[in-house]
């Protein structure tokens, strides 16, 4: 069940983030993009919550740090509006690379501690 929920959330996240990014690339009105922003944020939050439910160690892994960096980039968009396309593109690249790298790297702890156990389940 967990696997299917995560697949559904990832699919929703990819769709909403793609439309959001494309809307910015093609200079669509912000009011038209707001639902896609919320879809992207909420689906990303639910993905992260499923990871946190499995293990809070995700915050110390490559994939968790990537999520934090992506969130920071998204928060910077309103502050650096003219650079929004570059910020969004960078977030998309980080997301694509971090989610498709081999498990041994994606789950690697960046802050080593022998007492921390990561969740190595698939899906």
CA distance 42 to 92: 16
User: Residues of the chain with pLDDT > 70: what percent?
Assistant: 91
Q: Is a pLDDT exceeding 60 seen at residue 38? A: yes
Let me know if residue 116 belongs to a domain.
no
Residue 122 lies in a domain: no
Q: Is residue 16 part of a domain?
A: yes
Between 118 and 99, the higher pLDDT residue: 99
Domain of 47 in residue numbering reads as: 2-106
Q: How far apart are CA 86 and CA 62, in angstroms?
A: 22
pTM: 0.85
Which residue did the predictor score with more confidence, 109 or 91?
Answer: 91
Q: Which residues contact 45 (CB under 8 A, 6 or more apart)?
A: none
Please give the mean pLDDT across all residues of the chain: 91
- The tally of domains found in the chain comes to 1
| 106 closest CA partner among 116, 121, 92 | 121
Longest dimension (CA), the chain: 50
How much is the pLDDT for 55?
Answer: 86
């Amino acid at each position: 069940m967990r696997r299917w929920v995560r697949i559904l959330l990832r699919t929703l996240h990819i769709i909403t983030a793609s439309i959001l990014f494309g809307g910015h690339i093609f200079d669509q009105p912000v009011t038209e993009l707001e639902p896609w922003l919320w879809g992207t944020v909420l689906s990303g939050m639910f993905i992260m919550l499923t990871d946190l439910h499995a293990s809070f160690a995700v915050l110390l892994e490559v994939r968790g740090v990537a999520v934090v960096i992506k969130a920071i980039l998204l928060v910077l968009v309103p502050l650096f509006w003219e650079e929004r396309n570059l910020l969004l593109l960078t977030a998309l690249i980080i997301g694509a690379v971090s989610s498709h790298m081999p498990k041994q790297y994606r789950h690697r702890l960046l802050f080593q501690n022998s007492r921390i156990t990561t969740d190595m389940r698939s899906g």
